Amino acid sequence: MHILVLGAAGMVGRKLVERLLRDGRLGKRDISRMTLQDVVAPTQPAKAGFPVDTIAGDFAVAGVAEKLVADRPDVIFHLAAIVSGEAELDFDKGYRINLDGTRMLLDAIRLAGNGYKPRVVFTSSIAVFGAPFPDKIGDEFFHTPLMSYGTQKAIDELLLADYSRRGFMDGIGIRLPTICIRPGLPNKAASGFFSNILREPLAGKEAVLPVSEDARHWHATPRSAVGFLLHAATLDSATVGPRRNLTMPGLSATVGEQIAALKRVAGEKVAARIKREPDPFIVGIVAGWPRDFDPKRARSLGFTTAEKTFDDIIRIHIEDELGGKFVA
Amino acid sequence: MHILVLGAAGMVGRKLVERLLRDGRLGKRDISRMTLQDVVAPTQPAKAGFPVDTIAGDFAVAGVAEKLVADRPDVIFHLAAIVSGEAELDFDKGYRINLDGTRMLLDAIRLAGNGYKPRVVFTSSIAVFGAPFPDKIGDEFFHTPLMSYGTQKAIDELLLADYSRRGFMDGIGIRLPTICIRPGLPNKAASGFFSNILREPLAGKEAVLPVSEDARHWHATPRSAVGFLLHAATLDSATVGPRRNLTMPGLSATVGEQIAALKRVAGEKVAARIKREPDPFIVGIVAGWPRDFDPKRARSLGFTTAEKTFDDIIRIHIEDELGGKFVA
């Protein structure tokens, strides 16, 4: 089985690739080859039991998608995107990558012909939803994105469903919760603080909290995100039907609950490294974001999270990213 | 005020133009100029109190949209589209006109600059919804189109909302019910029979009913459609907010109720011209279509239908299309 990963150098992409290399298989099939693409060169794995090609370049340039699918990968993970903050600041770039690039990929698959019909796992976002919401957003709630990023993802979902319905591919779109705790350096996502306020204090550093403690949001660990991707790649799409885009399970928590969990898991001293500096710009953005979901369909299709409580989210970060240790 | 109509030679487009020419104004403002575009040349009005330019050509060709908005029309009615059956049969053509063409128009407006921010009234469709549905589809029900046409319209809605949110234009999208009674010749569209079974008997001709009498659907007259367009062009968009796309009011009726109305308005003899020839293919298609809506938002924003009952729908056709007479 040949697997192509677009956006393989991103945070979720790297974790997915690590997991696939470790497993050597996807579902019941052995992996025979992987192709890793990103705008910056993905890391060439030190040792892999099969050939791994790495490709650096913009997938939204004419002709690139055709090359990526020329060898007819069986499964394509499409994680490549301009993040929300950047897509809002740079209108053209956001639409070029997040809409046109995705459409180019789908069209390259469609036009490959000869019965080529790969499983395409696309990472959508809860940014397809925009306030006002019900307290818990159900599976049949409409899309009213309040940012261009969410608009682009919502459009991609519609394309994925139509291309799948017409038999050009076999797509599954998964709306990831905000990933928490996001490892590494802060990026341009407006949601960065949800992770910063946990990750930085655990590393002995200060972090800024730009919103109030009653801000509620929807979270899942990187470990859960990888689990969702693997399940989306292997589940029987006949059980999904024409409604191909699914809100993934997650954990709804307020910032206050996040901080309380940090205190329980790591202690008061760690939590004291959070500095409260309200930022009206961020407050305004976050006010338009989903707080909670009731993702019945994804649960009934077998998608599950690795964590049951916010304490688990912090413990998983300490296990997976910090070698079991934090700066007390 | 300068008004641009794309798709001016279509059935709804022609009726809109006739009404605008007759009124000489839109809301409180006098019309000073109109530009009528379609892929076939729109009829040059015999007499108009202001200049009317007609343009024949494909609006989805590079550079055309820029020319159409170069003189900065104040209101743009965008009715141009490939119809559902054709968009399903010709994948490329449907996406090129219904998605790329609309995006080119929106981008031409966006890039015109210097504060240009026209009202754009876009005709979407109830085809953005796909079965299974609730009995009455509410304003917050999600989009799961089951045809490429509905997918394209749903994407256009998302673009219209995002471009409006970002201040590039002032858009309102309206999801028209199935237009009944559609004037002109019988067409082969799967929905054609909803009009054929009324229009043809009123003209003394036989018509085929391919579904059972309990098939329920959502209707509005051409007169109502024009009323929706005019209201969408003049309503205060500040009252609409970021959710720019609205399901229009309509009348839910079974085919049996349609026929009963025909009997009441035109008599048993006219209704006897309907021949029952069940067609499992049409029955299957119609089973996936919306039956009823609860369009609260549009009603609260002042959108109203010209008809209260299905009898009115038939009477309006006799008035507007048949000069008050039918073949008894």
Instruction: Give the nearest partner residue to B162 out of A148, A158, A162, using CB atoms.
Output: A148
Question: What confidence score (pLDDT) does residue B309 get?
Answer: 98
Q: How many angstroms separate the CA atoms of A250 and B164, rounded? A: 32
Question: What confidence score (pLDDT) does residue B188 get?
Answer: 67
Residues in A touching B160 (Cβ below 8 Å)? none
Exposed (0-12), middle (13-18) or buried (19+): which is B30, by Cβ within 10 Å? exposed
Find the mean pLDDT for residues A159-180: 97
CB pairs under 8 A between A and B: 54
pLDDT at A188 over 70: no
Q: Mark whether A149 is an active-site residue.
A: yes
Question: What confidence score (pLDDT) does residue A151 get?
Answer: 98
pLDDT at A237 over 70: yes
Q: How many angstroms separate the CA atoms of B252 and B68, rounded? A: 38
Task: Search chain A and give the residue with CA nearest B89.
Answer: A166
pLDDT at A285 over 90: no
pLDDT in tens, B165-191: 999 999 999 999 999 999 988 776 788
pLDDT at A136 over 90: yes
Enumerate the CATH 3.40.50.720 domain ranges in chain B, comma separated.
2-179+220-247
Cβ count near B308 (within 10 Å): 10
pLDDT at A10 over 90: yes
pLDDT at A2 over 70: yes
pLDDT in tens, A38-89: 999 999 998 899 999 999 999 999 999 999 999 999 999 999 999 888 999 9
Cβ pair A140:B145 closer than 8 A: no
How far does the CA of residue A133 sit from the closest CA of chain B (Å)? 10
pLDDT in tens, B270-309: 999 999 999 998 898 888 889 999 999 999 999 999 999 9
Q: Phi, psi at residue A178, to the nearest 5°? A: -65, 130
pLDDT in tens, A97-130: 999 999 999 999 999 989 999 999 999 999 999 9
- Decide if B307 contacts B255 (C-beta within 8 A): no
Residues in B touching A162 (Cβ below 8 Å)? 145, 148, 151
Query: Per the CATH hierarchy, to which homologous superfamily does domain B193-218+252-291+307-321 belong?
Result: UDP-galactose 4-epimerase, domain 1 (3.90.25.10)
Q: Within chain B, which residues score under 70 in pLDDT?
A: 188
pLDDT at A190 over 90: no
Could you tell me if B136 lies within 8 Å of chain A, comparing CB atoms?
Answer: no
Instruction: Give the nearest partner residue to B242 out of A91, A142, A144, using CB atoms.
Output: A144
Find the mean pLDDT for residues A143-161: 97
Cβ pair B154:A158 closer than 8 A: yes
pLDDT at A145 over 70: yes
Question: What confidence score (pLDDT) does residue A187 get?
Answer: 65
Question: What confidence score (pLDDT) does residue A170 get?
Answer: 98
Residues in B touching A155 (Cβ below 8 Å)? 155, 158-159
Q: Domain B2-179+220-247 belongs to what topology? A: Rossmann fold (3.40.50)
Find the mean pLDDT for residues A235-241: 95
Enumerate the CATH 3.90.25.10 domain ranges in chain A, comma separated.
190-217+251-291+307-321
List the CATH code of the domain at A190-217+251-291+307-321: 3.90.25.10
Could you tell me if B138 lies within 8 Å of chain A, comparing CB atoms?
Answer: no
User: If DSSP codes are grouped into helix, strand and coil, which group holds residue B15?
Assistant: helix
Question: What confidence score (pLDDT) does residue B190 get?
Answer: 80
Cβ pair B158:A155 closer than 8 A: yes
Q: How many angstroms separate the CA atoms of B201 and B223, rounded? A: 21
Tokens of A57: 């370049």
Cβ pair A148:B166 closer than 8 A: yes
Could you tell me if B164 lies within 8 Å of chain A, comparing CB atoms?
Answer: no
Cβ pair B162:A144 closer than 8 A: no
Q: Domain A2-179+221-247 belongs to what topology? A: Rossmann fold (3.40.50)
Could you tell me if B52 lies within 8 Å of chain A, comparing CB atoms?
Answer: no
Enumerate the CATH 3.90.25.10 domain ranges in chain B, comma separated.
193-218+252-291+307-321
Could you tell me if B130 lies within 8 Å of chain A, comparing CB atoms?
Answer: yes
Could you tell me if A130 lies within 8 Å of chain B, comparing CB atoms?
Answer: yes
Task: Search chain A and give the residue with CA nearest B134.
Answer: A140
Task: Search chain B and give the residue with CA nearest A244.
Answer: B144
